[in-house]
Structure formats: structure tokens, C-alpha cells
């Protein structure tokens, strides 16, 4: 059983042909048979006979495979354990195989997350259809993220409902947008959202607090060593089950990996790095403007993806490699407060991912709600809570060091109003900033964050982001708000007021962010404004100095922003608004 390299990208054009399958079985006879069968299905096959070897292959090449098929009984590692690892680290669909068809075994497989359980002897026709699992997962990913965000947003604010009504668009994915809307509607009902997409009964609602606990546990354990059982034990939530944690963790990873991807994309753009955030974490290539640029396209759709990721991404290493990241935990950005989890959709995806920062993470502190506008996919991730950071976890992200991270007005308990300017705009990003407990302050800062991070757009994978952000702490409420404005912008800034709001918010946020750092507010706003107003700025050219649209630099606008929201710059957040960052941000804020 040699291991044949199958590192290539899937051939989307002739899907499912070219599907990259990794087969793991200690029986050489079966391995050969399966290989032949899969080849006959026109799949790209890689075989290995040891579980450890399989994990190495998978880790080596995160995106090298689409699906894993593994036998249950293996000498070096239990097949279920491998299943768990794959699910957690790579979030790939896994099919289990065994000659034993006992119900209990099958159930165990499903419990551990197997998307199918085949009995040996396996027929070729059973293998022909495995692509459906890959496809299904892709669809659900988006949905889950959205739903997660939805949940978050509910916590965040209720007022965000209008936003949803506007039909934030989820760029690119109709499904997601539909879901989002659905979620939004649900949210409005102010009821505990059960993830509609999951259609599971008695779904766990991952509140901000719960998510925060989760994130804390994950950080404690160490991202690499994380496992549902360990997390569950640490979290000490009696009614929570291992399965709940496992699935949540999956989403979290997904989220992080999305962020990572976003940041990767952003890096490629590097167009936007204006200010070369020296002050920023070196990691983040703030130049991730790509998201911003992309946004343009999306903007028209009303979906803006805050490329906040860029900045974040840099710091964050976005998850793509969760294992690697461990260090991310320190996302300076918002303390676990309600970081904005901007889910920046994979650049690969049609860029229409919006990042919806729904929750204004209750406590603004952490909430860097960056609406990462991944231009491509405005995945509405409710970044609502960027839980402290989730970014941290994965990627340093939110290190708002760039100043953004904490955008949501530090400490402001302003409720993040999810009012993202959206009212009119189809804020796709839907950051439904759930108003948090925070007081009325609406930190609309969201877009600002983008700037800060210059491109810290952390594309927190929606999934993860959602968790992350679920505004865990009430303090984060701010976060969500920030993004809202952005969304409006996409809607083409049509409503001047909207955009203004946004701008003002941004400015407001800016101000707050600066916490007196003295960052020229105007510059920020300009950036922001430019982005928004201009439509072409969609890409939140944070930091794109070229914004022509300076229309909104009207300080007056800013003044309108209730600064109270930001109360004394609470830069409690460690990472929040680091003055130094601000300047950096300044440069790139919307650049």
C-alpha cells in the first residue's frame, strides 16, 4: 500500500470526477480493491495502511483531500479516534468501513461524526456516491456558520432585526442568504435559535457565555490537543454533551480555517497594505485588501465582506491550521469579549461571502467585529461576537492590535447595535449585532474594524466566528455594530444616511478606538467612508488610501455618533485599540 500523492486541487469542472479520496485500511487486500474501485469512479486515490500515516498526510496537506474513508479496526489507532481527529482538525467528511455491522458499532461511528458507515464487502456503487458527502458538507458549512451567527446575533441584539429584514445578502450563496434571513427572522422572534439548518432536535444554543467557556477551554487545552471530551470536562456545563461540543468544535475549526483562508487571500492582494502596519503584528498582512476589493463585487450584491480579516488574518494565522495555531490564542484583539468574527469566506469561494457580524458581542470589549468583507463571499457571519477572540484562538486575529481588534469600542457596553446601518442596505454582512446588554451605545464601529486591522479581516470562518463572537460577554455588544455599517455600504451606500451612519459609526468607532490615540479620525473615516460610499470601496478598502469618496468625512457626521457609546475609551481590552495600532490602522484603515 503505497501512498500515492494525490495533491492536487479538485477538478470542479467535472465534479465529482477528480474527487480526492484518502483511503485508510490496514488490510492490504481491501486497500487494493478500494483503490481500484475508486479509480474506476474517476476519483483521485491515495492509500495508506496506518492511521498515523493518514493523519500525517492530512496535516501535511490541509487541502489535499476532499474525503476520507477509513476502516474501523486498525492496529495503531482506533478508527473512531482517527475519525475524531479528522473531523476536528480538518473538518473533512469521513466514511467508516467495517465488516462488523452491529448497530452499536454503527451508532458509535455516527456519534463520532462519521458521515456514513459502509459494511464490508463494499460494492463499487456504494463508493460512487460518496461525493454527496463532500457536497453536503460544503453546503452545510455555510449554513452552519450562518446559523451560528444567527444565534449569536440573537444574543447580541434584537434590534438588528431590521437589518435582517433588509435581506442581507449573503453573497454568493443563495442558500446561505436564505438561511440567514431565516435566522434573522428567527432572531427577531427573540427565541432561542436552534440551528435550523441542522434540523436536530433539541439543539444546543451556543450563547455567548457558553461559547466563551468553550473558547476558554480550547485555549486552555491548547488547540492542537483539543478534543471534545477535554473541552467538555473543562467547560463544566452539566447539560452539555460531548456530541454538542464536538460539533461546535467542528464549526469553530471551520471558522478558523475560513479566517485563515481569508487572510491568505488577503495576503495575496496586498494591494491594500498601505500603511504597512508595522505596528501591527507582523503576521497580519494588512494588505489583505483582497477582501476589500472583492467586496466590490459583492457590494453590489449587498454583501460585503469585511475584509477585516486581513488584518486579523495576519495576526491570526487563521485557522486553517489549527494545529499550528496554537499561539493564536492571544489574539489581542478583543478579549474574549465578543470579537467580531468575521467570516471571511474562502477566497476560493465565490466571493460573496459576507461576514455578518451578528453579534455585537455583548461586551464590546472583545468584540472586534470585523466585518470581513471578503469580497468574494459575503458570508454573513455574524461576527457578533468575536469572542475574544476567537481569533485568538486561531489566529491571532483580531489582534486588533492593529487597532481594530477591539473596535467595538472597548469596554463599551454599548449594545452593539446590530443596527448596522443596514436598514436599507442589504447588509449582507448581517452582522446582526445583537444588542447586547450593553447599553445603548451602538457601536457601529464595525466597519471601522476593518480598517484597523487594515485588513485584519479576519475571516473568521463563520462557523467559528460565530462561536467566537457570540458575544460572550455582554461587553461585546459593540462588535456587531461595527459591521453593520458596512453592510449598508454595500448596498451601495445608497441611503446616504445609511452610509453616513456607517461612517459615523466608523468614525465613532474610530474615535473610540483610538481612544484618544489621536488617530486622525478623519483619515479613518475617510477610509471608511470611501469604502462605503463609493461603492467601489466595497472592499472596505480600509486603508486604501485611494478612496475617493471622502464624502463622508464630514466630521459632523461623526459627531452624530453617540460617543457615549464608547465611553471613555475603554481600552480595557488588552488588545483593543492599541494606540500605536491606530496609527497603523489609520493608514490602512480603509485603504
Partner 1 sequence: MERNRLQQEVACMRRSLFDQGYLEEQFIQLEELQDDANPNFVQEIVALFYTDSARLIQNIEQTLNSKPIDFSKLDDYMHQFKGSSSSIGAKKVTDECTVFREYCSAENAEGCIRTFQQVKQEYTILRRKLEVYFQMVRQAAVAHSA
Residues that bind partner 1 (CB under 8 A): 26-30, 32-33, 36-37, 40, 71, 73, 98-100, 120-121, 123-124
Measured from the CB atom, the residue of 105 and 511 that comes closer to partner 1 is: 105
Measured from the CB atom, the residue of 13 and 102 that comes closer to partner 1 is: 102
CB of 428 to partner 1, least distance (A): 48
How far is 326 from 225, CA to CA, in rounded Å?
9
Query: Nine-digit cell at 290?
Result: 483582497
Q: What angle do CA 462, 466, 467 make, to 5 degrees?
A: 130
CB of 275 to partner 1, least distance (A): 58
40 burial class (0-12, 13-18, 19+ CB within 10 angstroms)?
exposed
Measured from the CB atom, the residue of 74 and 308 that comes closer to partner 1 is: 74
CB of 114 to partner 1, least distance (A): 17
CB of 73 to partner 1, least distance (A): 6
How far is 208 from 380, CA to CA, in rounded Å?
18
Provide the 8-state DSSP code for 331.
Answer: -
> Which is nearest to 256 in space by CA: 358, 126, 148?
148
Measured from the CB atom, the residue of 36 and 191 that comes closer to partner 1 is: 36
Longest pairwise C-alpha distance within the chain:
75
Cα separations in angstroms, 311 against 22, 52, 390, 471 = 34, 35, 14, 20
Query: Nine-digit cell at 272?
Result: 491594500
Query: Nine-digit cell at 493?
Result: 451606500
Measured from the CB atom, the residue of 35 and 526 that comes closer to partner 1 is: 35
Query: How many other C-beta atoms can be found within 10 angstroms of the C-beta atom of residue 194?
Result: 17
Measured from the CB atom, the residue of 124 and 556 that comes closer to partner 1 is: 124
CB of 8 to partner 1, least distance (A): 20
How far is 129 from 125, CA to CA, in rounded Å?
7
Measured from the CB atom, the residue of 73 and 550 that comes closer to partner 1 is: 73
Can you tell me whether residue 369 is helix, strand or coil? coil
Do the beta carbons of residue 512 and residue 569 sit within 8 Å? yes
Q: What angle do CA 480, 485, 491 make, to 5 degrees?
A: 130
Query: How many other C-beta atoms can be found within 10 angstroms of the C-beta atom of residue 315?
Result: 39
Query: Nine-digit cell at 224?
Result: 492542537
Measured from the CB atom, the residue of 35 and 574 that comes closer to partner 1 is: 35
Query: How many other C-beta atoms can be found within 10 angstroms of the C-beta atom of residue 27?
Result: 17
CB of 120 to partner 1, least distance (A): 5
Q: Which residues pair with 39 in a beta bridge?
A: none
Q: At what angle do helices 289-301 and 242-269 cross, to 10 degrees?
A: 100
Peptide bond into 16 cis (omega under 30): yes
How far is 310 from 405, CA to CA, in rounded Å?
12
Measured from the CB atom, the residue of 29 and 236 that comes closer to partner 1 is: 29
Query: Nine-digit cell at 210?
Result: 457558553
Measured from the CB atom, the residue of 71 and 388 that comes closer to partner 1 is: 71
Measured from the CB atom, the residue of 29 and 199 that comes closer to partner 1 is: 29
CB of 123 to partner 1, least distance (A): 6
> Which is nearest to 464 in space by CA: 565, 564, 325?
325
How far is 140 from 135, CA to CA, in rounded Å?
9
Measured from the CB atom, the residue of 40 and 191 that comes closer to partner 1 is: 40
CB of 33 to partner 1, least distance (A): 6
Amino acid at each position: 500500500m503505497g501512498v500515492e500523492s494525490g495533491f492536487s486541487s479538485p477538478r470542479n469542472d467535472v465534479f465529482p470526477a477528480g474527487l480526492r479520496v484518502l483511503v485508510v485500511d490496514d488490510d492490504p487486500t481491501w486497500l487494493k480493491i478500494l483503490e481500484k474501485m475508486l479509480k474506476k469512479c474517476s476519483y483521485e486515490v491515495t492509500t495508506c495502511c496506518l492511521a498515523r500515516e493518514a493523519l500525517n498526510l492530512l496535516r501535511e496537506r490541509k487541502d489535499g483531500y476532499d474525503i476520507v474513508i477509513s476502516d474501523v479496526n486498525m492496529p495503531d489507532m482506533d478508527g473512531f479516534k482517527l475519525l475524531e481527529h479528522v473531523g476536528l482538525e480538518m473538518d473533512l467528511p469521513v466514511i467508516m468501513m467495517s465488516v462488523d455491522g452491529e448497530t452499536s458499532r454503527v451508532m458509535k461511528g455516527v456519534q463520532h461524526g462519521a458521515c456514513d458507515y459502509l459494511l464490508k464487502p463494499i460494492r463499487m456503487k456504494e463508493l460512487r456516491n460518496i461525493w454527496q458527502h463532500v457536497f453536503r458538507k460544503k453546503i452545510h458549512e455555510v449554513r452552519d456558520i450562518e446559523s451560528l451567527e444567527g444565534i449569536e446575533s440573537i444574543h447580541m441584539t434584537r434590534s438588528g432585526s431590521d437589518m435582517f429584514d433588509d435581506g442581507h445578502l449573503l453573497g454568493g450563496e443563495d442558500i446561505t442568504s436564505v438561511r440567514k434571513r431565516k435566522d434573522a427572522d428567527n432572531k427577531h422572534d427573540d427565541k432561542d435559535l436552534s440551528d435550523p439548518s441542522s434540523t436536530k432536535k433539541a439543539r444546543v444554543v451556543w450563547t455567548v457565555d457558553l461559547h466563551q467557556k468553550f473558547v476558554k477551554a480550547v485555549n486552555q487545552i491548547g488547540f492542537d490537543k483539543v478534543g471534545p471530551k477535554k473541552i467538555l470536562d473543562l467547560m463544566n456545563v452539566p447539560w452539555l454533551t460531548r456530541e454538542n461540543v464536538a460539533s461546535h468544535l467542528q464549526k469553530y475549526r471551520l471558522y478558523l480555517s475560513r479566517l485563515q483562508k481569508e487572510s491568505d487571500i488577503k495576503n495575496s492582494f496586498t494591494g491594500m497594505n498601505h500603511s504597512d502596519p508595522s505596528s501591527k503584528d507582523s503576521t497580519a498582512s494588512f494588505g489583505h485588501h483582497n477582501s476589500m476589493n472583492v467586496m466590490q463585487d459583492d457590494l453590489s450584491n449587498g454583501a460585503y465582506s469585511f475584509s477585516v480579516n486581513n488584518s486579523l488574518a495576519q495576526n491570526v494565522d487563521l485557522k486553517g491550521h489549527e494545529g499550528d495555531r496554537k499561539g493564536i490564542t492571544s489574539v489581542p484583539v478583543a478579549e474574549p469579549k465578543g470579537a467580531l468574527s468575521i467570516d471571511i469566506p474562502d477566497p476560493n469561494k465565490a466571493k460573496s461571502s459576507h461576514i455578518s457580524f451578528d453579534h455585537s458581542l455583548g461586551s464590546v470589549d472583545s468584540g472586534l467585529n470585523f466585518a470581513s468583507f471578503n469580497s468574494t463571499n459575503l458570508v454573513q457571519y455574524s461576527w457578533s461576537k468575536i469572542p475574544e477572540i476567537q481569533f485568538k484562538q486561531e489566529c491571532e486575529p483580531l489582534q486588533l492590535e492593529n487597532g481594530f481588534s477591539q473596535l467595538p469600542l472597548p469596554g463599551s457596553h454599548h449594545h452593539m447595535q446590530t443596527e448596522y446601518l443596514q436598514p436599507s442596505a442589504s447588509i449582507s454582512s448581517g452582522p446582526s449585532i445583537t444588542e447586547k446588554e450593553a447599553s445603548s451605545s451602538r457601536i457601529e464601529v464595525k466597519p471601522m474594524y476593518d480598517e484597523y486591522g487594515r485588513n485584519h479581516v479576519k475571516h473568521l470562518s463563520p462557523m467559528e466566528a460565530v462561536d467566537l463572537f457570540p458575544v460572550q460577554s455582554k461587553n461585546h455588544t459593540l462588535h456587531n455594530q461595527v459591521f453593520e455599517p458596512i453592510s449598508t455600504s454595500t448596498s451601495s451606500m445608497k441611503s446616504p444616511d445609511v452610509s453616513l451612519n456607517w461612517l459615523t459609526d466608523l468614525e465613532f468607532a474610530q474615535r473610540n478606538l483610538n481612544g484618544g490615540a489621536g488617530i486622525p479620525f478623519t483619515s479613518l473615516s475617510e477610509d471608511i467612508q470611501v469604502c462605503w460610499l463609493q461603492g467601489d470601496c466595497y472592499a472596505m478598502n480600509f486603508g486604501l488610501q485611494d478612496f475617493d469618496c471622502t464624502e463622508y468625512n464630514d466630521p459632523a457626521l461623526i459627531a452624530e455618533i453617540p460617543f457615549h457609546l464608547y465611553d471613555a475609551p475603554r481600552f480595557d481590552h488588552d488588545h483593543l485599540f492599541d494606540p500605536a495600532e491606530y496609527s497603523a490602522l489609520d493608514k490602512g484603515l480603509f485603504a
